[in-house]
């Protein structure tokens, strides 16, 4: 595990963007990448998008979504895809052929598809205050899960309802790559900002492996890089 402490969001955005550009350009053949939605990476994508958009050097990069929250409206594309389109795929003008949507329909074949396509080279992860990453909320998945459908009932349903304007739209499930699928990637990079993430970072870096803190398992990956500001790192330094 490599810990990199940055001063602020701007430094995090630049360094993470630089790291991703360098990783993409480290392979002459197809590079398979998963990237996170959310607020922490917004600056990363603002940094990356114009650079990716203007260069043909990144046409070998394929993007695989690692989770998706649909709605009861079958015409809705999903929370993750909507957000990634807005944050990155649209401003970076990524060609549709390079984007691989994870959906309620194709999730069961996702791991095999990834294997056939050469496996994931890297994943950019965020982390929640509750230690979740991707759709791996506490209680939603188990460490041994590959890509799964999570039943959204009780507290889990409440957790995702904030994404929707109307309770009628809240779906009864979501899909996500589970811990086993995430750990199968060759490289992981996780970003965090702010003291409200400090406890989650402690569980990730120093805490016991405990399913109550989903990201606590990531410390076992042989190639994990954590980039966070001093506030988020304050419990581990």
Is there a contact between 205 and 236 (Cβ–Cβ < 8 Å)?
yes
Part in contact with its own copies (CB under 8 A); list of ranges 124-132, 148-156, 168-176, 208-216 = 208-216
Q: Catalytic amino acids?
A: 67, 130, 132
DSSP collapsed to 3 states, 25-57: CCCCCCEEEECCCCCCCHHHHHHHHHHHHHCHH
Part in contact with its own copies (CB under 8 A); list of ranges 27-35, 100-108, 155-163, 166-174 = 27-35
Of the candidate residues 51, 101, 157, 234, the single one contacting its own copies (CB under 8 A) = 51
User: What is the CA 90 to chain-centroid distance, rounded?
Assistant: 18
Tell which positions 119-158 bind its own copies, by CB under 8 A. 119, 142-144
DSSP E strands, the chain: 2-6, 31-34, 61-64, 67-68, 99-100, 122-125, 148-151, 173-176, 187-192, 224-229
Part in contact with its own copies (CB under 8 A); list of ranges 49-57, 66-74, 79-87, 125-133 = 49-57
- From the CB of 101, what's the least distance to its own copies, in Å? 21
Q: Is there binding between residue 184 and its own copies (CB under 8 A)?
A: yes
Q: Are strands 67-68 and 31-34 parallel, antiparallel or unpaired?
A: unpaired
- From the CB of 56, what's the least distance to its own copies, in Å? 8
**Residue 101 structure tokens:** 């949507």
**Residue 10 structure tokens:** 């701007």
- From the CB of 168, what's the least distance to its own copies, in Å? 36
Q: Is there binding between residue 2 and its own copies (CB under 8 A)?
A: yes
- From the CB of 4, what's the least distance to its own copies, in Å? 4
Place of tokens 């944050």: 87
If you count them, how many residues does the chain have? 237
Binding site for its own copies (CB under 8 A): 1-2, 4-6, 14-15, 17-26, 28-30, 51, 55-57, 115-116, 118-119, 142-144, 179-180, 183-187, 206-209, 211, 216-217, 219-223, 225
């Amino acid at each position: 595990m490599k810990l990199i402490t940055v001063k602020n969001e701007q430094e995090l955005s630049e360094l993470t963007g630089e790291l991703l550009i360098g990783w993409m350009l480290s392979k002459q053949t197809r590079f398979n990448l998963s990237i996170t939605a959310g607020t922490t990476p917004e600056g990363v994508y603002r940094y990356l998008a114009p650079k990716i958009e203007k260069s043909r050097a990144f046409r070998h990069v394929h993007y695989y979504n690692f989770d998706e929250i649909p709605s009861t409206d079958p015409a809705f594309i999903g929370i993750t895809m909507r957000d990634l389109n807005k944050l990155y795929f649209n401003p970076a003008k990524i060609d549709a052929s390079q984007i691989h949507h994870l959906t309620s329909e194709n999730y069961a074949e996702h791991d095999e598809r990834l294997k056939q396509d050469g496996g994931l080279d890297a994943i950019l992860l965020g982390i929640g205050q509750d230690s979740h990453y991707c759709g791996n909320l506490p209680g939603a998945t188990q460490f041994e899960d590959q890509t799964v459908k999570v039943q959204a009932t009780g507290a889990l349903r409440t957790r995702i309802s904030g994404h929707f304007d109307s309770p009628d739209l809240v779906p009864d499930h979501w899909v996500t790559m589970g811990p086993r699928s995430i750990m199968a990637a060759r490289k992981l990079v996780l970003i965090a900002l702010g003291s409200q993430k400090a406890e989650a970072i402690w569980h990730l870096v120093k805490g016991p492996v405990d399913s109550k803190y989903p990201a606590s398992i990531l410390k076992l990956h042989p190639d994990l890089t954590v980039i966070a500001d001093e506030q988020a790192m304050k419990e581990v330094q």
